[in-house]
Amino acid sequence: MVNDLHRRLHEQGYDEIRPAHGCVFRFIEPTGTRLTVLAEQSGLTKQAVGEVADDLERLGYVERLADPLDGRAKLIRLTDRGARSRATAVRIMGEIEAEWAERHGEDAVATLREVLEAVTDERVPA
């Protein structure tokens, strides 16, 4: 799924986005999200996510704002371009899942999703 997503993202012109950037795109919220939160949710260190955020900032997909609620913190937020790319990614994943459903059945794909979510929830730690 991830391979296919990125192949298609590249075809759509988003050829700078790599799988590793997912730790930001997956968990970022419209109003902005703190680095620490992204790190926690993705199961990576703050440093790792920080590098990804640097990268995405350099590429113009996210920006950093001071967090009004905490002087230490910054909010990472999608730029317009970032939001568009994310929307494209969401659309593509929907398309891929639809293709899978066509080929293997809606029920099978629903089961796939359920079991996969369950087993990854049960044993999160890498």
Partner DNA sequence: ACCAGATCGTAAGGCTACCTGAATAATTCT
Partner DNA sequence: AGAATTATTCAGGTAGCCTTACGATCTGGT
45 contacts 39 by C-beta, under 8 angstroms: yes
Instruction: Say how far apart CA 89 and CA 83 lie, in whole Å.
Output: 10
Mask for 44-83, x = binds a copy of itself (CB under 8 A): ----------------------------------------
Please report whether residue 48 would count as binding DNA according to CB under 7 A.
yes
Instruction: Work out how close the CB of 49 gets to DNA at its nearest, in angstroms, rounded to a whole number.
Output: 7
Instruction: Say how far apart CA 56 and CA 62 lie, in whole Å.
Output: 6
Q: Which of 68, 69, 80, 119 binds a copy of itself (CB under 8 A)?
A: 119
Q: Which of 5, 23, 28, 92 binds DNA (CB under 7 A)?
A: 23
Helix (H, G, I), strand (E, B) or coil at 43: coil
Q: Which of 3, 13, 30, 72 binds a copy of itself (CB under 8 A)?
A: 3
Q: Give the contacts of 32 (CB within 8 A, at least 6 positions apart).
A: 65, 67, 75, 76, 77
Please report where in the chains the tokens 């996510």 appear, as a residue: 49
50 contacts 35 by C-beta, under 8 angstroms: yes
Binding site for DNA (CB under 7 A): 18-20, 23, 34-37, 43-48, 50-54, 64, 67, 70-74
Residues that bind a copy of itself (CB under 8 A): 1, 3-4, 100, 103-104, 107-109, 111-112, 114-116, 118-119, 122-123, 125-126
